[in-house]
Amino acid sequence: MESNVATTPEVLAQRLANSGLRATPQREIIYGVLLKKRDHPTADEVYARVRTDMPGISLATVYNCLETLVQCDLVRAVNFERGPTRYCPNLRPHAHFHDEQSGSTHDIDLPAEILDKVRSVLPPGYNAKSVEITFRGKAADEQKSSQP
């Protein structure tokens, strides 16, 4: 029973329409790139991947589309320190584990129970719209390089 999880171009179009926006080829390809390899790419990395399918796309458009997807709640923008923003199409509540050695980022699912516990540290009067949890450290077996 996955509510709220868009994984197809059709769903993308629907979500965009909800916000009065159009499903353009650029938006579809960029969203597809994010779904295909969920390694939290930067805008530059998305740009590089998209260009193999759509060589004429501009970096400005990549930024525009990513921003649009974030606005539609189809994608989360993720930041570590002051590094470039990374993009994540995982809509379930999750934390991020940032491996400092490899630079890779892993999603860590967050049970609602834990999220509630965390929210419980807030004194009365503090109304949190969002909670962000980030781990930094070393993850074991980085699976060699990345060729499957």
Question: What residues from 93 to 122 belong to the interface with a second copy (CB under 8 A)?
Answer: 95, 97, 100, 106, 108-111, 114, 117-118, 120-122
Residue 56 interacts with, from a second copy, DNA, Zn ion, none (CB under 5-8 Å by kind): DNA
| Per CB under 7 A, 21 contacts DNA | yes
- Kindly tell me which of 58 and 136 has the beta carbon lying closer to Zn ion: 136
Q: Burial letters for 46-67: b for 16+ Cβ neighbours within 10 Å, e otherwise?
A: bbebbeeeeeebeeebbeebbe
> What is the Cα–Cα distance from 105 to 14, expressed in whole angstroms?
29
β-pair partners for 78:
86
Q: Give the contact letters, 85-114, x = binds to Zn ion (CB under 5 A), - = no.
A: ---x-x----------------x-------
| The residue to which tokens 């179009």 are assigned | 13
> What is the Cα–Cα distance from 111 to 92, expressed in whole angstroms?
10
| Per CB under 8 A, 63 contacts a second copy | no
> What is the Cα–Cα distance from 83 to 73, expressed in whole angstroms?
22
Residues of this chain that interact with a second copy (CB under 8 A) are: 77, 79, 81-82, 85, 95, 97, 100, 106, 108-111, 114, 117-118, 120-141
